[in-house]
Amino acid sequence: MAKTLVKKRLEVLKTYKIYIGGQFPRTESGRYYIATNKKGENLANVCLGSRKDFRDAAVSARNAFGGWSGRAAFNRGQILYRIAEMLEGRKAQFIDELIKQDSTKAQAENEVNLCIDRLIYYSGWCDKFQQLFSSVNPVASSHFNFSVPEPTGVVAAIAPQNDSLLGLVSVIAPIIAGGNTGIILASASKPLCAVTFAEVLNSSDLPGGVVNILTGKVAELVPFFADHMDVNATVYCETDAATQKMIKEKASLNVKRVVLYDKVKWASSSGQSPYFIMDLQEIKTTWHPIENIGGTKAGY
């Protein structure tokens, strides 16, 4: 009796929701679209995110910024490492989803492995890039003067549309390794593993709001990623010239930094480097006088 029950057991389908402030709400718009594979088979109903979703995510990202940027760099490294651990543990699920989204098994395995390794790579950078890109400046006056990188703030990023998981991870990792918080728009055609990756983030001690992941139409949402007045930088990974221009124009409203990754090959070794972290850093220079009582000769 039990055996037949199990055989006939109906599969529980997963609801793919968006990820804002450490929670998984449905889009406030109530809209959805159907993600399909190349054959046109339905994979899932996915949230068709709205402007209001973006604004909610921006509030969450801003609220999370102080805490995340204030964490010890070592702690951020530990959390990125934890994300990698969680991803390793759920590898099978991601491979399964990538295959559903038209990857071959070998491709899917390779992509997930690359993602895990990339997270480890950036985990290591969390407490090192500052040393590489800081300077003590030998000013001519009697001051101690140094420059250090600090996170730009809230970053809105449109993830690569084709490298659905690797692109997403490659964009998110340098944002958060550098202490920024972000709102990421997942690949519209391959959104499944983006939502599942949000579950990985949610179980990795990453504070809610540090990464917010939306799904939806790029054309509809891009303007908000570029013109929101409480976003400090916009990242765009596609080659569409008209969209690039529109992002740069709207970014001028509050002098956003615009970072275009239109020539990056994410699967290659050039798809990772500390320069991706530095693209979303500001340089802060601090001065303090040096007292010079007692003359300039050393006393010993």
Provide, rounded to whole angstroms, the least separation between the CB of residue 84 and another protein. Answer: 23
Provide, rounded to whole angstroms, the least separation between the CB of residue 270 and another protein. Answer: 6
Provide, rounded to whole angstroms, the least separation between the CB of residue 22 and another protein. Answer: 24
Provide, rounded to whole angstroms, the least separation between the CB of residue 287 and another protein. Answer: 5
Between 43 and 280, name the residue whose CB sits nearer to another protein: 280
Task: Find out whether 263 and 271 touch, Cβ atoms under 8 Å.
Answer: no
Binding site for another protein (CB under 8 A): 132, 135, 137-141, 143, 145, 147, 150, 152-153, 232, 241, 245-249, 251-255, 257, 270, 273, 275, 282-289
CA angle 287, 147, 178 (to 5 degrees): 135
Provide, rounded to whole angstroms, the least separation between the CB of residue 166 and another protein. Answer: 19
69-93 burial, b at 16+ Cβ within 10 Å, e below that, comes to bebebeebbbbbbbbbbbbbebeeb
Residue 278 burial by CB count (10 A; 0-12/13-18/19+): exposed, middle or buried? middle
Between 152 and 212, name the residue whose CB sits nearer to another protein: 152
Between 160 and 179, name the residue whose CB sits nearer to another protein: 179
In the chain, the amino acid numbered 37 is N
Task: Find out whether 55 and 224 touch, Cβ atoms under 8 Å.
Answer: yes
Between 104 and 147, name the residue whose CB sits nearer to another protein: 147
CA torsion sign for 163, 166, 172, 177 is negative
Between 137 and 162, name the residue whose CB sits nearer to another protein: 137
